[in-house]
Amino acid sequence: MSHSQWSQKIVQLLRRMNNFYSPGSCRASCFRFEINGAQVGWIPPQVAPLLSRFPDVFSPPQGGAVSLRPSLDSPGRRTEAVDAVLRTLRQEGTFSCLKGWRDEVRPYSLWKYSVMSKFSEAPLMLMERSATSLFGVKRSGVHINGYTVSDGGEVSMWLARRSPTKQTYPGLLDHVAAGGLAAGFDIKQTVVKECEEEAYIPAAIAEKARPVSTVSYTYEDEDGVYPENQFVFDLELPVGFKPKVGDGEVQEFYLLPMEKVKELMATDDFKPNCAMVVLDFLIRHSFIDPDTETCYQEFGAGLHQTLE
- pLDDT per position as a tens digit, 69-99: 999 999 999 999 999 999 999 988 888 888 8
Most confident of 58-67, 93-102, 119-128, 229-238: 229-238
- pLDDT per position as a tens digit, 204-236: 999 999 999 999 999 999 999 999 999 999 999
In CATH, 3-21+139-303 is 3.90.79.10: yes
- Does the pTM surpass 0.85? The reply is yes
**Looking at the domain that runs over 26-135, which CATH code has it been given?**
3.30.750.160
Count CA within 13 A, CB hemisphere, residue 43.
23
| Predicted confidence band of residue 47 (pLDDT cuts 50, 70, 90) | very high
Three-state SS string over the chain comes to CCHHHHHHHHHHHHHHHCHHHCCCCHHHHCEEEEECCEEEEEECCCCHHHHCCCCCCECCCECCEEEECCCCCCHHHHHHHHHHHHHHHHHHCCCHHHHHCCCCCCCHHHHEEEECCCCCCCCCEEEEHHHHHHHCCCEEEEEEEEEEECCCCCEEEEEEEECCCCCCCCCCEEECEEEECCCCCCHHHHHHHHHHHHHCCCHHHHCCCEEEEEEEEEEEECCEEEEEEEEEEEEECCCCCCCCCCCCCEEEEEEEEHHHHHHHCCCCCECHHHHHHHHHHHHHCCCCCCCCCCCHHHHHHHHECCCC
Class of residue 28 by CB neighbours under 10 A (exposed 0-12, middle 13-18, buried 19+) = exposed
Query: Residue ranges of the domains in the chain?
Result: 3-21+139-303, 26-135
